[in-house]
């Protein structure tokens, strides 16, 4: 059975560009974005990790820690950082896991179990499933999972938007509609009665009996 939303994110100990970490201990009381990429020194991955580095302050404002992983050794990550900075103008200051024995990738269903036990000789095509995003809450539960194909770079603005929604809806009994962004109206969940909705939100608009919109809560 693969990982699902609300499962506990598997814990692990791994070597990274910032030393050995225990994942749950490293995450602490923060939110986390855990991203994998197929292989170092490849074009799409270079743009992705640089873009994520350029948005580091936005993630920090939301209490989110960043961490990356591939099956390349840590020493390759360190060399690749220079290329990322050259290509994107941003320095990767978050840790990158060197998962050359494939243990963490298999733990998170980033590779099939039959993928062997070493990264030696592997190509980007061998690692085709390793372009994943996990958003993990302070409770260590998986809140969001995304998997992208080899040829499609991730949209980190969308990941930030999703985090905004997840954090908002974890505090209030609301949901966010399609294409919602910070500051837009939200949907009152079915668990809130009409009477309670007035008490909580002051006013709301009934679009359909099961679709009630209100201003985004600020507290």
Q: Are residues 78 and 178 in the same domain?
A: no
Give tens-digit pLDDT for 66-90. 999 999 999 999 999 999 999 999 9
Residue 130's pLDDT band (cuts 50, 70, 90):
confident
135, containing H or E segment? strand 132-136
Domain identity same for 52 and 126: yes
**139 in a structural domain:** yes
pTM: 0.93
In total, how many domains does the chain have?
2
Whether residue 122 has pLDDT greater than 80: no
Q: Which residues pair with 32 in a beta bridge?
A: 65, 136
| 198 and 112 both lie in a single domain | no
* Structural domain for 181, as ranges: 172-214
Burial letters 166-176, b for 16+ CB under 10 A, else e: bbbbeebbbeb
Across residues 103-116, what is the average pLDDT?
A: 83
How many angstroms separate the Cα of 134 from the Cα of each of 39, 109, 144, 204?
18, 11, 6, 33
Q: What pLDDT shows up at residue 128? A: 66
Q: Tell me: do 72 and 119 sit in the same domain.
A: yes
* Confidence label for 111 from pLDDT (cuts 50, 70 and 90): confident
- Annotated active-site positions, please? 45
User: Do 114 and 44 lie in a common domain?
Assistant: yes
Query: pLDDT by residue (tens digit) across 31-61?
Result: 999 999 999 999 999 999 999 999 999 999 9
pLDDT tens, position by position, 156-182: 999 999 999 999 999 999 999 999 999
- Please tell me whether residues 20 and 98 are part of one structural domain: yes
115 shares its domain with 208: no
């Amino acid at each position: 059975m693969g990982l699902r939303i609300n499962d506990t994110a598997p814990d692990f100990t791994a070597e990274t560009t910032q030393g050995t970490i225990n994942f749950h201990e490293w995450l602490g009381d923060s939110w986390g974005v855990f991203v994998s990429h197929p292989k170092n020194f490849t074009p799409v991955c270079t743009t992705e990790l640089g873009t994520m580095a350029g948005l580091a302050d936005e993630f920090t404002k939301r209490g989110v820690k960043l961490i990356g992983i591939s099956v390349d050794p840590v020493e390759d990550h360190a060399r690749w950082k220079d290329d990322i900075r050259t290509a994107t103008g941003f320095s990767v200051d978050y840790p990158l896991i060197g998962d050359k024995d494939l243990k963490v990738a298999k733990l998170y269903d980033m590779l099939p179990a039959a993928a062997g036990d070493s990264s030696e000789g592997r190509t980007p095509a061998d690692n085709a499933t390793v372009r994943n995003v996990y958003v993990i809450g302070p409770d260590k539960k998986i809140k969001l999972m995304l998997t992208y194909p080899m040829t499609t770079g991730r949209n980190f603005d969308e990941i930030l938007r999703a985090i905004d929604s997840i954090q908002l809806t974890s505090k209030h009994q609301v949901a966010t509609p399609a294409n919602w962004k910070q500051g837009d109206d939200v949907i009152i969940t079915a668990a809130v009665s009409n009477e309670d909705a007035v008490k909580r939100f002051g006013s709301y608009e009934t679009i359909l009996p099961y679709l009630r919109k209100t201003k985004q809560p600020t507290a």
